[in-house]
Chain A
Amino acid sequence: MKSNPEDSLDEAKIAALAYRYLDRRLPDAKRVILHEHLRRDPQARMTFVRCLLQGVELEELLSAEKESDSSSALAGAAAVHAEQGDWQLDSMAGKAQNIDARAVPSRRALAPTKPPLVGTRLFDRIFTNDQGRVNAPRILASIVAAMVLGAGLGIWVVRNTGGISSNSSDLVAIDELDDPQSEQSPISTAVLVNVTNCRWDRTRSTADLAGGGLKPGQSLHLLEGLAEIQSTLTSGSVGRFQLEGPSAMTLSDDGMPNLLFGTLSAEFSFRRDSFRVGTPLGEVVIAGDSSLGITAAADEVELHVFSGTATLGLWSTSTTSNSDQFVKADAGTSLRVRIDADGKISVDRDTASENQFVTPASLAASQLSISDQYVSAIRQSQPIAYWRFEEERDGLVRNEVADRFHLHLAGDAVRLRSSQGTRCAEFGITAGPGYMMTDDVFDGVIKEDYTVELWAKPTCFHHGALFSLINWTPDVNPKGQHRVYLEFCGPRDWDYQTPGGMWESDPGRLLFINCRSEVFSSTPYVVRKWQHLVALRERSSMRLYADGRLILTDKNSEQLGSGMRVLMGQLYPPSRLIRDDVTARLYSGELDEVALYDRALSEAEIHRHRELIKSSADAEPRDSI
């Protein structure tokens, strides 16, 4: 890079600076150079603008192709090369089609493309006037809906490019740079590309958790949360692995995960070779575009194949023979392999269960359909606050029943997202904090009895703070200030180190705290499925209901006191008085229709509210841990 701004920068270098700028990887010196050239060179300005424009056009075009289930430009490109006798079909085409055929990604953490924030709600906002009448023709609405859904232009284009044909004589080669590094033989690599609420066992993990690059022999011990790893083979084949805590893996010499225990799901996009994933009982070999899930323990492995095929090569357990056994599993089937105390191996076959794993399809399976009847029923029950998360305005989510107790959104990890024609709150979309909190306090509003009613869909088993009433102001240390607290517990028994020793949790249960009473639910919660939760206190009794069933009851007659605010999404509000990145209990999942009452709802009301919403995809929840 020439450092003298008087020198002219060619188009490629301006473009390189533009990409760095978008990545926030522009060192000060380069920033100065970019500024100077943009100030004095009209051509540089044009290049900068066109580079940014082309980037967006490519994103729109390629994401539209993924969604349109038509042959993609990459697929088309590969096809062109194949037709022309080029060496092989590009695996990216297959990957795009494979993803299309399965599911719509629902979480940014898992699928980097953000699902559109608006659907029919934006339609309503644009085309409905204050009296609720539609302002514009329906066809217009469709166009705008398509546009804001992020697919419109791209899809139009994809469907209208049939007239353009390729010409082999026009082929342009993009060579790697003269840089000697680029001439090196590529090696298999693995990189940690995404983490969601990950808590690592840092004493046992040898991988560089901060840098993200994984080297052969290194290990990852994940206590809780989701980690996404991408492995790329020398051929360009790509495997994406989702590790769900608690899990542990090492990285093999060829860049493949070796799952020691826990849960892993994976998607593979192939060129011409195979992926091998190690387990305690054998090696899973995958040799075609496919997706699967694996659970592993010392003496048992389950392999679920969602698309494509996989073969489990079992290690030999015989002292007289070295011959391994190979068991094949096709799409939609699963294998459960156990090794008994006498060394015998048993293999059971069943259907594949995608709900057990964090995949785009399992995350999208359970949808919440809110009816007008439900909303009316809640209003008839006269909550003091009702947050529907339909709209964020000026950083606030409004309380639907009064002009106070509005929630303000804070942090990058929370947003509102569209689902089934309505919107809900989604937490844990980035690794950092994200919460919602009221600025008003509930003094004089809640005296003794109360009810918190909500719908929640946790992404995985983890410690996630759903809802709390906390007596807090910014100059007060928030520790010990909770009056009411509702939490999803993590997947392990012994968990957090506290000044009083290890805090014992009840894995997979719900924790309900009322003042000094801490009680765990008798049954586990369900991951990746919407569930109706009601926590209440009535006179001297505290109770918790899940989907209309009573799962917790205890005695408590303590007064809540004053100064309480609502906090959702994490244990503590940010405070200069604590540095608590271990017990922040960031919630990862979705939340909707939160209502707070100044009385105890009756069982009849709870059942009626539950029955008014039928959560889809009820089948096959993962209800045990």
Chain B
Amino acid sequence: MSLCQEDIIHSLLSNRAIMLAYIRTLVIDRDAAEDVHQEVVIQALRAADTIKDSRHLLAWARRTARLKSLEYLRQKRRQPQHLDPDVLELLEPSWEAESSDTGQARAAALSYCLGELTPRARELVKLRFVDHLNGIQISNVRGLKVQSVYMSLSRIYHTLENCVRRKLTASGA
């Protein structure tokens, strides 16, 4: 029994964000992660016959993404700056735990939770995730210490994460 292409697409679509995040741990660069992800999607569709089920697909996709990421770093002659290999291995169960079909519900909850941030926090979110500024650039723009920027971002993460989990629990997702 193998997955059909529609199932593969559905599963990869539902887990697009987590796959991109996973790849980012390896290649760091956002655009490179997009490129690697596209290659994984193509490979998955080509390998449809060999993929048993959705869980198998996601594990396969992560493994393929890892290989593709290393290949990318080799091609670009970049020194890998990712976490140590043993730590990457240890993270695998966490990635697996986060993989699910609730991506759409999570994003809806996140959209709602953004509305709960203060204007200043929303501005930080915009600088970071819309304008793609790093911590130093944000510190220059906002006149803050770099460390303050990172801690502010981490608090925003904490608030949004708690809010998202609350909303998901309430909606039974």
Partner of B163, one of A61, A172, A176, A191: A172
B108 touches A171 (CB 8 A): no
B122: chain A residues at CB < 8 Å are: 74, 77-78, 90, 92
Instruction: Decide if B137 is an interface residue (CB 8 Å cutoff).
Output: yes
User: Quick one: given A153-B104, A172-B159, are A46 and B115 in contact (CB under 8 Å)?
Assistant: no
Interface residues on B, range: 35 or more
Residues facing B in A371-389 (CB within 8 A) are none
A113 touches B132 (CB 8 A): yes
Partner of A189, one of B84, B93, B114, B143: B143
Instruction: Decide if B121 is an interface residue (CB 8 Å cutoff).
Output: yes
| Complex Cα–Cα for A14 and B154 (A) | 8
Instruction: Decide if A323 is an interface residue (CB 8 Å cutoff).
Output: no
B107 touches A19 (CB 8 A): no
Residues facing B in A467-501 (CB within 8 A) are none
A57 touches B106 (CB 8 A): yes
Binds B, one of A160-168, A438-446, A601-609: A160-168
User: Do most interface residues of chain A lie in helix, strand or loop, or is the interface mixed?
Assistant: helix
A46 touches B94 (CB 8 A): yes
Instruction: Decide if A617 is an interface residue (CB 8 Å cutoff).
Output: no
| Complex Cα–Cα for A135 and B98 (A) | 32
Partner of B151, one of A58, A96, A177: A177
B130 touches A62 (CB 8 A): yes
B116 touches A147 (CB 8 A): no
B120: chain A residues at CB < 8 Å are: 174, 176, 236
Number of interface residues of A (CB under 8 A): 101
B29 to chain A, nearest CB (A): 9
A122 touches B9 (CB 8 A): no
Mask of B2-33 contacts with A, CB within 8 angstroms, 1/0: 00011001001110111011101100101100
Instruction: Decide if A133 is an interface residue (CB 8 Å cutoff).
Output: no
Partner of A157, one of B22, B90, B104, B160: B104
B152 to chain A, nearest CB (A): 6
A137 to chain B, nearest CB (A): 8
A15 touches B157 (CB 8 A): yes
Binds B, one of A21-29, A351-359, A507-515, A516-524: A21-29
Partner of A213, one of B106, B110, B140: B140
| Complex Cα–Cα for A163 and B130 (A) | 25
Partner of B141, one of A13, A19, A147, A189: A189
B137 touches A156 (CB 8 A): no
User: Quick one: given A16-B150, A45-B91, A53-B17, are A38 and B145 in contact (CB under 8 Å)?
Assistant: no
6 closest residue pairs by CB, A with B: A174-B121, A15-B154, A77-B115, A157-B107, A16-B154, A191-B140
A-B contacts, 25 listed (Cβ < 8 Å)? A12-B157, A16-B150, A16-B154, A20-B135, A22-B24, A25-B136, A38-B87, A46-B97, A50-B161, A52-B22, A56-B20, A58-B125, A74-B122, A81-B115, A117-B35, A122-B38, A136-B5, A153-B16, A157-B111, A164-B112, A166-B115, A174-B117, A186-B143, A193-B133, A213-B140
A residues contacting B by CB (< 8 A) are 11-16, 18-25, 34-35, 38-39, 42, 45-46, 48-63, 66, 73-74, 76-78, 80-81, 90, 92, 96, 108, 112-114, 116-118, 122, 125-126, 135-136, 140, 143-144, 147-148, 150, 152-154, 156-158, 160-161, 164, 166, 170-177, 179, 181-182, 184, 186-187, 189, 191, 193, 212-213, 230, 232, 236, 394-395, 412
B residues contacting A by CB (< 8 A) are 5-6, 9, 12-14, 16-18, 20-22, 24-25, 28, 30-31, 34-35, 37-38, 41-42, 45, 75-76, 81, 83-84, 86-87, 90-91, 93-95, 97-98, 103-104, 106-112, 114-126, 128-137, 140-148, 150-161, 163-164, 167
